[in-house]
Amino acid sequence: MTTEASTPTTPAPAAAEGGTLRAERVSAWFGTRKVLEDVNLEMGAGAVTALIGPSGCGKSTFLRTLNRMHEIIPGASLAGSVLLDGDDIYGGTLRVTQVRRRVGMVFQKPNPFPAMSIADNVAAGLRLTGTRATDRDGLIEDSLRRAGLWNEVRNRLRAPAGGLSGGQQQRLCIARSLTVRPEVLLMDEPCSALDPTSTRRIEETIGELRSQVTIIIVTHNMQQAQRVSQRCAFFLAAEDQPGRVVESGPTERLFGDPEDPRTADYVHGRFG
């Protein structure tokens, strides 16, 4: 007869809570101009994926295809599919509002409602996506804690958000996007308007959020890509050509032992 071993073992790490996005043959156009060609990329749960590459190669456009923001731009079109945990976000089974609730976005410039209170800014995340909350105050606190801002604002939740520093405003925007519990968070150069200290604080927040939400970040800062991401995709557009992914994989490999000489040149600052 066998008995179950009773020796305590190290608990397995909790499974990452985020969703997995997979882009399959994504191409994008503005009018007749093709700006992105045949992008295949898997962005897995529990990881931060950094999108890097020179200006104009299509990183932000690609990011916007991941939560159906690209189609908002007049004349913009798209081919290919984007699967969120296996469901095509363009396939008709998910409504646009569902996609944008499950795949949140934080922009380059912090964009809180400045005259609105800090608490109401966080709660605005619910209104923007039509989500109801039974414990509004609890949710506000939880979102601010997850964004690493609670301790700095707990005593002034009714004060206008416009009084916060730039870095705090950006963490407030992260809190706002977290209220609806997205599975994926898209970040388009979230630190480019911030000083180095605020930048570090956002990077810490990204590290803390990684196990809860899949993060995809566009950054021009190679040190930042190495600090915050586990996976990386290098985009490049040859002259008058659409942007493509030259190479993707673990960040350590892309920076330490890239397969393509163009990746090596870019990550070592030889162009771009």
Ligand X SMILES: Nc1ncnc2c1ncn2[C@@H]1O[C@H](COP(=O)(O)OP(=O)(O)OP(=O)(O)O)[C@@H](O)[C@H]1O
| Nearest distance in Å: CB 256, ligand X | 24
DSSP label at residue 176: H
Q: Quick check: 55 binds ligand X (CB under 6 A)?
A: yes
d(CA 40, CA 76): 20
Structure tokens at 70: 């690209």
| Nearest distance in Å: CB 74, ligand X | 8
Radius of gyration of the chain (CA): 20
Closer CB to ligand X, 17 or 38, in the complex: 38
H helices of the chain, in order, are: 59-65, 96-102, 118-129, 136-146, 150-153, 166-178, 196-209, 222-228, 251-256, 261-267
Closer CB to ligand X, 59 or 101, in the complex: 59
Q: Quick check: 69 binds ligand X (CB under 6 A)?
A: no
Site for ligand X in 150-189 (CB under 6 A): none
Q: Quick check: 73 binds ligand X (CB under 6 A)?
A: yes
Is the separation of the CB atoms in 229 and 249 below 8 Å? no
* Contact residue for ligand X among 23, 59, 90, 168 (CB under 6 A): 59
| Nearest distance in Å: CB 202, ligand X | 18
Closer CB to ligand X, 45 or 236, in the complex: 236
d(CA 128, CA 67): 15
Question: In 3-state terms, what secondary structure has residue 131?
Answer: coil
Interface mask toward ligand X for 13-32; x: CB under 6 A: -----------------x--
| Nearest distance in Å: CB 35, ligand X | 4
| Nearest distance in Å: CB 250, ligand X | 22
Going by C-beta distance under 8 Å and a sequence separation of 6 or more, which residues neighbour residue 147? 171, 172, 174, 175, 178, 205, 209
Structure tokens at 231: 């996976």
Q: Quick check: 244 binds ligand X (CB under 6 A)?
A: no
Which range in 54-62, 116-124, 154-162, 260-268 contacts ligand X by CB under 6 A?
54-62
Q: Could you tell me how many residues of this chain bind ligand X (CB under 6 A)?
A: 11
Closest to 221 in 3D by CA, of 237, 201, 238, 203:
203
As a 3-state breakdown, the chain gives helix, strand, coil percent values, each rounded to 5, of 35, 25, 40
Which range in 39-47, 57-65, 96-104, 207-215 contacts ligand X by CB under 6 A?
57-65
Q: Which amino acid is at 74?
A: P
Closest to 201 in 3D by CA, of 227, 175, 173, 168:
168
Q: Quick check: 61 binds ligand X (CB under 6 A)?
A: yes
| Nearest distance in Å: CB 162, ligand X | 26
Q: Quick check: 60 binds ligand X (CB under 6 A)?
A: yes
* Contact residue for ligand X among 18, 19, 58, 110 (CB under 6 A): 58
Which range in 8-16, 51-59, 196-204, 256-264 contacts ligand X by CB under 6 A?
51-59
Going by C-beta distance under 8 Å and a sequence separation of 6 or more, which residues neighbour residue 134? none
Give the residues lining the site for ligand X (CB under 6 A): 30, 35, 53, 55-61, 73
